């Protein structure tokens, strides 16, 4: 199914295991993008794409779904980077989407 995008799309930003990119978007009846998306989906800059990949890797290496974060410093570094990435993402997609940052679900 395809069509025209909704007036304002919502891009969700949060990591998940086995996903290369922490980008998600709910499809609508007129806009079928799937659920998982990539930087290419939105035409993101190389710099933001690289920083997003590093942020996602930091989470994968230091967060465990059962035990949580291995270190408070790693969480603080990841959380600060996530807020900055969300703000940069919002600037890059401001013409067509809003960003919903969901990193708080990983608070220690």
pLDDT one digit per residue (tens) for the chain, 108 residues: 455 656 678 999 999 988 999 999 876 555 566 678 899 999 999 999 999 999 999 999 999 999 999 999 999 999 999 999 999 999 999 998 999 999 999 999
pTM of the complete model beyond 0.85: yes
Q: Which domain holds residue 82?
A: 9-106
Of 88, 65, 84, 66, whose CA–CA distance to 76 is shortest? 84
Domain assignment present for residue 19? The answer is yes
Name the nearest CA neighbour of 63 among 13, 23, 15, 20: 15
- Measured in residues, the chain has a length of 108
Q: How many other C-beta atoms can be found within 10 angstroms of the C-beta atom of residue 68?
A: 12
In a domain, 41, yes or no: yes
Q: What is the pLDDT of residue 7?
A: 66
User: Do the domain assignments include residue 4?
Assistant: no
From CA 44, how far away is CA 93, in angstroms rounded?
A: 8
pLDDT value of position 30: 55
The domain tally of the chain equals 1
Helix, strand, coil % over all residues of the chain, rounded to 5: 45, 20, 40
User: Is 76 a domain residue?
Assistant: yes
What pLDDT does residue 92 have? 98
In a domain, 1, yes or no: no
């Amino acid at each position: 199914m395809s069509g025209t995008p909704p007036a304002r799309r919502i891009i969700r930003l949060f990591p998940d295991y086995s996903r290369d990119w922490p980008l998600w978007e709910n499809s609508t009846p007129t806009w079928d993008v799937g659920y998982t998306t990539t930087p290419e989906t939105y035409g993101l800059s190389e710099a933001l794409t690289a920083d997003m990949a590093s942020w996602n890797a930091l989470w994968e290496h230091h967060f465990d779904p059962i035990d949580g974060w291995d270190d408070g410093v790693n969480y603080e570094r990841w959380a600060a980077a996530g807020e900055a990435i969300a703000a940069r993402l919002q600037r890059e997609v401001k013409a067509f989407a809003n960003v919903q940052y969901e990193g708080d679900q990983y608070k220690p």
